[in-house]
Structure 1
Amino acid sequence: MSPVKAIDFHVHLPTPEWLDVSMKGYVEAAESYFRSKVARKTIDELAHEYDALDIVAVLLAWDAETATGRPRVPNDLVAQACREYPKNFIGFGSVDPLKGDRAVEELDRIAEMG
């Protein structure tokens, strides 16, 4: 395996579920401000894009459910993407600290997933 050219250390999954549900309102504001549409992609499309560029992406799970009321991007989804595309993705787990003991349990689970 050849060395990668770069590591993109902050990658949110650009799936419709994330962009159109969890980030609804924010995406529209960003598109208006930057005068550019945010492309929706599947995990497979994203992996192939990073592969073609010889870049590794650090995929971020996201859980701010308590404060925002918005659906989270589960750690399991990020872990599955990393298992399917280990050459392209590194996972970065997330917990909602406002969930108290459940957040601690989730943190332990993230550690077990690797």
Structure 2
Amino acid sequence: MPRAVDFHVHLPTTEFMQVTLGPYARAAEKFFRTEVKLKDIEQIAADYAELDMIGVLLAWDAETATGLPPLGNDYIAEIVKRYPQQFIGFASVDPHKERLL
């Protein structure tokens, strides 16, 4: 059993910060009064393992509102598949997109 669960993890990766958030990243850093240090997923998984924690990774799809590409559910699922002891996935659905099923 892990020591703790982080229930709200926005990945500090290039894929999220520079692609999905894009121009909004700096505004988020300013609002939260912090600078996000980019890491690769291997380092993030190692950090969580060292802390004996599980992280709930958030997908992010605000494409219709921002025009920016989502950090997709499949991307998050692949990370969880690679690091099942460290991460749980939490999907995102853009309600403004057409139904895919």
Fold equivalence (TM over 0.5): yes
Q: Which secondary structure state, in structure 2, belongs to the residue aligned with residue 14 of structure 1?
A: coil
- 1:17 alignment counterpart: 15
Where relative contact order (Cα < 8 A, 6+ residues apart) is larger, the structure is 2
Between the aligned partners of 1:99 and 1:48, the Cα distance in structure 2 is: 35
RMSD across aligned positions (CA): 1.4
The 3 A distance-change label for structure 1 pair 37 and 68 is: same
Superposed CA offset, 1:56-111 (max 9, x none): 00001111111111110011110010010000000011111111312xx3xxxxxx
Between the aligned partners of 2:67 and 2:4, the Cα distance in structure 1 is: 34
Contact 2:22-2:68 within 8 A present in 1 as well: no
Give the share of equivalent positions with the same residue, in percent: 49
Segments of structure 2 that go 5 or more residues without pairing to the other structure are: none
Between the aligned partners of 1:80 and 1:95, the Cα distance in structure 2 is: 17
- 1:110 alignment counterpart: none
Superposed CA offset, 1:17-67 (max 9, x none): 211122123321243451x42110111111000000011000011111111
- 1:39 alignment counterpart: 37
Between the aligned partners of 1:79 and 1:22, the Cα distance in structure 2 is: 17
Q: Which secondary structure state, in structure 2, belongs to the residue aligned with residue 29 of structure 1?
A: helix
Between the aligned partners of 2:30 and 2:10, the Cα distance in structure 1 is: 19
State how many pairs are aligned: 100
